[in-house]
Amino acid sequence: MHYNIINELGELALGSRLKRLSDYIYREGKELYRNNEIEFEPRWFPVFHLLAKGEIVSVVEIADSINVSHAAVSQTVKELAKNKLVSVYSHKTDKRKRELTLTEKGFELHKKMAPLWNDIATALNDMIRQHKHHLMAAMQEVENDFETLSFVDRITKVKNERLQREVNILDYKSEYAHYFKALNIEWLEKYFYVEDYDKKVLGNPEKYIINAGGAILFAEFEGEIVGVCALLKYNEEEYELTKMAITEKAQGKQVGKKLGLAILERAKRLKAKKLVLESNKILKPALNLYERLGFKFVYKDFSTSAYQRANVYMEKEL
Amino acid sequence: MHYNIINELGELALGSRLKRLSDYIYREGKELYRNNEIEFEPRWFPVFHLLAKGEIVSVVEIADSINVSHAAVSQTVKELAKNKLVSVYSHKTDKRKRELTLTEKGFELHKKMAPLWNDIATALNDMIRQHKHHLMAAMQEVENDFETLSFVDRITKVKNERLQREVNILDYKSEYAHYFKALNIEWLEKYFYVEDYDKKVLGNPEKYIINAGGAILFAEFEGEIVGVCALLKYNEEEYELTKMAITEKAQGKQVGKKLGLAILERAKRLKAKKLVLESNKILKPALNLYERLGFKFVYKDFSTSAYQRANVYMEKEL
DNA sequence: GGTAAATAGGTAAGTACTTACATATATTAA
DNA sequence: TTAATATATGTAAGTACTTACCTATTTACC
- Give the CATH number for residue A292: 3.40.630.30
Among B131, B152, B179, which residue terminates a domain? B131
Quick one: B173 and B254 in the same domain? yes
Among B85, B115, B131, which residue terminates a domain? B131
pLDDT of B104 strictly over 70:
yes
Q: pLDDT for B143-196, tens place per residue? A: 999 989 999 999 999 998 898 888 999 999 999 999 999 999 998 999 999 988
Average pLDDT in chain B: 90
Q: Which of B73, B122, B133 to mutate to test the interface with A (most CBs of A within 10 A)?
A: B133
Whether A13 maps to a domain, the answer reads no
B131 to A141: CB separation less than 8 angstroms, yes or no: yes
Cβ proximity of B225 and B219 under 8 Å: yes
**Other CB atoms within 10 Å distance of the CB of residue B162:** 16
Check residue B300 and report its DSSP letter: -
CA of B41 to C1' of C22 (A): 29
Helix pair A284-292, A255-269: axis angle to 10 deg = 50
Cβ proximity of B17 and B4 under 8 Å: no
Whether B152 maps to a domain, the answer reads no
Q: pLDDT for A17-40, tens place per residue? A: 999 999 999 999 999 999 888 999
- In the three-class reduction of DSSP (H, G, I as helix; E, B as strand; rest coil), residue A218 is classed as strand
Quick one: B306 and B187 in the same domain? yes
> Which among A117, A124, A139 is the nearest to B21, CB-wise?
A139
Q: Is the dihedral of CA A304, A308, A310, A316 positive or negative?
A: negative
CA of B97 to C1' of C6 (A): 14
Tell me which chain B residues have a C-beta less than 8 angstroms from the C-beta of A158. 119, 122-123, 126
B28 to A150: CB separation less than 8 angstroms, yes or no: yes
Cβ proximity of A193 and A179 under 8 Å: no
CA A117: distance to chain centroid? 39
Nearest to B101 by CA among B125, B81, B82: B81
Domain holding A230, by residue range, is 167-317
What's the average model confidence in pLDDT over B68-92? Answer: 92
Quick one: A173 and A293 in the same domain? yes
**How far is the C-alpha of A192 from the C-alpha of B196, rounded, in Å?**
113
User: Which segments of chain A are extended strands (E)?
Assistant: 86-90, 98-102, 167-171, 215-221, 224-233, 238-246, 274-279, 296-297, 312-317
Tell me which chain B residues have a C-beta less than 8 angstroms from the C-beta of A17. 139
Does strand D come within 7 Å of the CB of A23?
A: yes
Whether A25 maps to a domain, the answer reads no
**How far is the C-alpha of A303 from the C-alpha of B217, rounded, in Å?**
110
Whether A27 maps to a domain, the answer reads no
Count of residues for chain A? 318
CA of B105 to C1' of C9 (A): 25
Quick one: A177 and A310 in the same domain? yes
| pTM greater than 0.95 (yes/no) | no
Residue type, B45: F
User: Which segments of B112-221 are extended strands (E)?
Assistant: 167-171, 215-221
What's the average model confidence in pLDDT over A108-123? Answer: 91
Cβ proximity of B316 and B295 under 8 Å: yes
**How far is the C-alpha of A39 from the C-alpha of A30, rounded, in Å?**
9
Quick one: A122 and A212 in the same domain? no
A139 to B17: CB separation less than 8 angstroms, yes or no: yes
Quick one: A51 and A138 in the same domain? yes
Among B131, B159, B194, which residue terminates a domain? B131
**Of chain B residues 86-105, which have a CB less than 8 A from chain A?**
none
Whether A58 maps to a domain, the answer reads yes
Q: pLDDT for B23-68, tens place per residue? A: 999 999 999 999 888 999 999 999 999 999 877 689 999 999 888 9
Check residue B153 and report its DSSP letter: H
Cβ proximity of A227 and A250 under 8 Å: yes
**How far is the C-alpha of B78 from the C-alpha of B58, rounded, in Å?**
13
pLDDT of A202 strictly over 60:
yes
Does strand D come within 7 Å of the CB of A56?
A: no
Helix (H) or strand (E) holding A269: helix A255-269
Whether A42 maps to a domain, the answer reads yes
**How far is the C-alpha of A93 from the C-alpha of A99, rounded, in Å?**
11
**Of chain B residues 146-175, which have a CB less than 8 A from chain A?**
146, 150-152, 154-159, 162
Residue type, B179: Y
Whether B136 maps to a domain, the answer reads no
Quick one: A242 and A302 in the same domain? yes
B128 to A15: CB separation less than 8 angstroms, yes or no: no
> Which among A4, A18, A118 is the nearest to B18, CB-wise?
A18
- A239 φ, ψ to 5°? -130, 155
Tell me which chain B residues have a C-beta less than 8 angstroms from the C-beta of A55. 1
Whether A62 maps to a domain, the answer reads yes
Quick one: A171 and A313 in the same domain? yes
Tell me, what's the pLDDT at B290?
A: 96
Does strand D come within 7 Å of the CB of A31?
A: no
Number of domains in chain A: 2
Tell me, what's the pLDDT at B8?
A: 60
Quick one: A292 and A173 in the same domain? yes
Which chain A residues in 98-157 sit with Cβ < 7 A of strand D?
Answer: 98
Tell me, what's the pLDDT at A7?
A: 54
Split at pLDDT 50, 70, 90, the class of A8 is low
Nearest to B283 by CA among B213, B150, B190: B190
Chain D bases under 7 Å from protein CB? 7-13, 15-20, 24-27
Quick one: B46 and B91 in the same domain? yes
CA neighbours within 13 Å on the CB side: how many for B79?
Answer: 14
Quick one: A136 and A186 in the same domain? no
Tell me, what's the pLDDT at B93?
A: 87
- Give the CATH number for residue B110: 1.10.10.10
Quick one: A62 and A133 in the same domain? yes
Split at pLDDT 50, 70, 90, the class of B3 is very low
Q: What is the 3-state secondary structure (H, E, C) of B218-269?
A: EEEECCEEEEEEEEEECCCCEEEEEEEEECHHHCCCCHHHHHHHHHHHHHHH
